Amino acid sequence: MAKEKKYFKLPETDEGTILFNVPFPKDLSQLKGMAPIVIKQPYQIDYLHSYGQDSPFFAGLANGKLLSTKCSSCGYTYGTPRLHCMYCGSECDWFELPREGKIHAFTVCYFGSEAFLKETPFALILVEWPGVDSLFLARLVNIDPAKASTDWIGMKVRSQFRRNAKFTPTDVYFVPA
């Protein structure tokens, strides 16, 4: 006696794409001339990004600290951190930058990427600190970019941090001190 086979039937659901009145020719010889079906579907992907060697910098920003590095061998001090010295190749050690620095140079941006386009014009500055050999690029806020002046060179500025970190370099910005 043969066993009776049970077949599984897929359940019908409302998820996915539902098309009504899909064009279909009555004569199958016309299938090659049928227009393609085009469906617009939302698409989402979770992108995993690792900050790797820069993780301490972003953790510092999230905790209201501006961190950078100093070469453990030749002593070159960076405004923007790096894991190894660009001059001697030795590993660098982390330290906290002072909250106050001064403007070394600036520019007013009248165009920006999509993320900054609605905020144009805005000022970008290169911040310098005593004893630090390189500069740090950041935004200068609480100023009027339309009144930009060479008087800004040397102006004291103070670092500020976003209350809710987005783990981007823009989590730190500067204001006149």
Mean pLDDT, each 10-residue run in order, the chain (177 residues): 69 70 83 82 87 94 97 97 96 97 97 84 96 96 95 98 93 96
Count other C-beta atoms under 10 Å from residue 103's C-beta. Answer: 21
- Asked whether residue 154 is domain-assigned, the answer is yes
- Are the CB atoms for 67 and 81 separated by under 8 Å? yes
The whole-angstrom separation of Cα 142 and Cα 155 is: 13
Neighbour tally for 150: CB within 10 Å: 7
Question: Cβ–Cβ contacts within 10 Å for residue 138, how many?
Answer: 23
Q: What pLDDT score was predicted for residue 43?
A: 85
Instruction: Tell whether 157 is covered by a domain.
Output: yes
Give me the pLDDT at residue 41, please. Answer: 79
Query: Helix, strand or coil for residue 56?
Result: helix
Asked whether the beta carbons of 36 and 19 are under 8 A apart, the reply is no
Establish if 72 belongs to a structural domain: yes
Residue 36 pLDDT: 81
Range of the structural domain that residue 130 is part of: 52-176
Q: What is the CA radius of gyration of the chain?
A: 29
Residue 33 belongs to a domain: no
Q: Count CA within 13 A, CB hemisphere, residue 125.
A: 28
Number of domains in the chain: 1
Q: According to the model, what pLDDT value does residue 49 have?
A: 86
In a domain, 108, yes or no: yes
Q: Does residue 164 lie within any of the structural domains?
A: yes
57 burial class (0-12, 13-18, 19+ CB within 10 angstroms)? buried
Q: What is the pLDDT of residue 81?
A: 95
**Does any domain span residue 16?**
no
Residue 17 counted as domain residue: no
Residue 139: helix, strand or coil by DSSP? strand
